[in-house]
Structure 1
Amino acid sequence: MCERKEPLKAATQFINMYFQGCDAALLAGSVIRGEATATSDLDIVIFDCSVPSSYRESFLALGWPIEVFVHNFSSYKQVFKSDYERARPSIQRMISEGIILEGEEIIDPIKKEAKEMLDDGPEVWSTETIRLKRYFITDTLDDFIGSSNRPEEIFIANTLAELVSEFVLRTNRKWIGSSKWIVRALEQYDPTFTAQFIEAFDSFYKHDDKNKVIKLVDEILQPFGGRLFKGFSMGKR
């Protein structure tokens, strides 16, 4: 791979090489947030009215791995809707944060649309959804408490951590994430809780101590009625 160019210059040159004539483009991701690492890529969002539907494509160019997200002026709305429904607004975040490279007049209203959606937060969970999530967390916690098989415990803990993070964020009407975005979403919500969350699971992974995880789960469920098993039913007619 050739020597990396500065991100903005590389992104601009890349567009001229591969997407010349597009209606608008912006650079997003870790490089514009000041969070880039040695393995970071360039995330580039392209708007082109000539493409029939949204698509994603990966390149190696100008010393960078580059992820391109291509949309027309109706298909991006479908992606907005999909990301909103799953409460993971990746494209909204990219567009809201992104640095405009081409088509400022075109992208400005789309950036405003993305920011408004981010600020509003995801839809409120229904009482029934909260009840369902309580049951699944309880079921996974019971598996975690009862298991004495270390390899199984590790993967049960992974599942429990995702369920708990989702529950905390969604019951507070905050966006969720996956992988590294789980921690980022939690920190945006409450750094103090995030530290407690990390300490609890770290204690299990390092020292095989389940007590802090159990205590944490019980604390987050308590305001909603605690653990749920007896009386739970789903799909009964």
Structure 2
Amino acid sequence: MEPHPPPALATALDQARRLVDSRYPAALSAVLGGSTARGRATGTSDLDILVLLPDGDVTRRETLRHEGRLTEVFAHTRAGLEEIFAADRAGRRGTMLFLYAESVSVHDPHGHAAALRAEARAQVDAGPDPLTRKQRDDARYGLTDLLDDLADVRDRHEQLVVADRVLTNASALLADHRHAWWGNGKWLPRRLMTADPVLGGALLQAHLALAEQADPAPLTAIAHEILDLVGGPLREGHSGLWAERGRSGE
């Protein structure tokens, strides 16, 4: 951490230290992550605090209000964090990995936080686990089915809902193709633009065109372009067990 952090960050770090000292006195380490650590906090941003607990404790997430500020605490053991990191790689969103990788130390008497931050940065740089062939084919089938729906729907509400799912599914396939992290919610456009600024930007603009002008043509075209990168549309010949099936057509 820089020796003289900006005032907003310094205030947040002091708040985080007081919370850790009072609520987690046995903590082995703690870091501050999220928008506050990245210098992008707004007046409504919460604090994201990650606390390493001794072995034998319970990995958990707690939401509380500390000194008037909404705070999310991700408290975990070392074994619990390994499971979370593995799930992050498999889920390809990397939520906890990015929180650690972009964090600032709050409490680190034994160097655990520094080691975990370095580990997280290495895993973020290595990228997420790729989709298996089965997962990719399921995603191709799901996006193909959604595009068929998009061509058929006339109700404006249905069109918007289907368009949202086309954006989500196409962005996930594009991120996997680029071996890049994917995102959900506000992180979908951010990660998408990192994965592929050209196709990702075109996908976002096409989704916006449909939302503003009710024109599905640009979204359909860019989604098909992304499908072609990963093997093309998939309909006939696709099969799967019911328990594994993504019910994308309902």
| TM-score clears 0.5 | yes
Q: Once the two structures are superposed, what CA deviation does each residue of 1:61-118 show, in whole Å capped at 9, x if it has no partner? A: 1231000000112211111112211112111111111111111511222222211211
SS at match of 1:6: helix
Indicate conservation of the 8 Å contact 2:55/2:78, yes or no: no
- Cα deviation for residue 146 of structure 1 reads 0.4
Provide TM-score, normalisation by structure 1: 0.91
1:122 matches 2:122: no
SS at match of 2:48: strand
- Give ranges in structure 2 of 5+ residues lacking alignment: 1-7, 243-250
Q: CA RMSD in A?
A: 1.9
1:233 matches 2:245: no
Indicate conservation of the 8 Å contact 1:12/1:101, yes or no: yes
SS at match of 2:31: strand
- Cα deviation for residue 127 of structure 1 reads 3.2
Instruction: Name the count of aligned residue pairs.
Output: 233
Aligned counterparts of 1:214 and 1:34: Cα–Cα separation in 2: 37
Aligned counterparts of 1:179 and 1:199: Cα–Cα separation in 2: 17
- Cα deviation for residue 231 of structure 1 reads 2.6
Match 1:56 to one of 49, 61, 65: 61
Taking every aligned residue pair, what percent have the same amino acid on both sides?
26
1:224 matches 2:230: yes
The structure 1 segments of at least 4 consecutive aligned residues displaced by more than 4 Å after TM superposition are: none
SS at match of 1:52: coil
Provide TM-score, normalisation by structure 2: 0.87
Aligned counterparts of 1:21 and 1:186: Cα–Cα separation in 2: 39
Query: How do 1:67-216 residues align onto structure 2 when only pairs under 5 Å count?
Result: 67-103=72-108, 105-216=111-222
Change (3 A) 1:156 1:39: same
Change (3 A) 1:19 1:225: closer
- Give ranges in structure 1 of 5+ residues lacking alignment: none
- Cα deviation for residue 187 of structure 1 reads 1.8
Indicate conservation of the 8 Å contact 1:51/1:71, yes or no: no
Aligned counterparts of 1:191 and 1:231: Cα–Cα separation in 2: 33
Indicate conservation of the 8 Å contact 1:125/1:171, yes or no: no
Q: Which amino acid aligns with 1:11?
A: A
Change (3 A) 1:224 1:47: closer
1:7 matches 2:6: no
Indicate conservation of the 8 Å contact 1:147/1:153, yes or no: yes
Indicate conservation of the 8 Å contact 2:173/2:230, yes or no: no
- Cα deviation for residue 59 of structure 1 reads 1.0
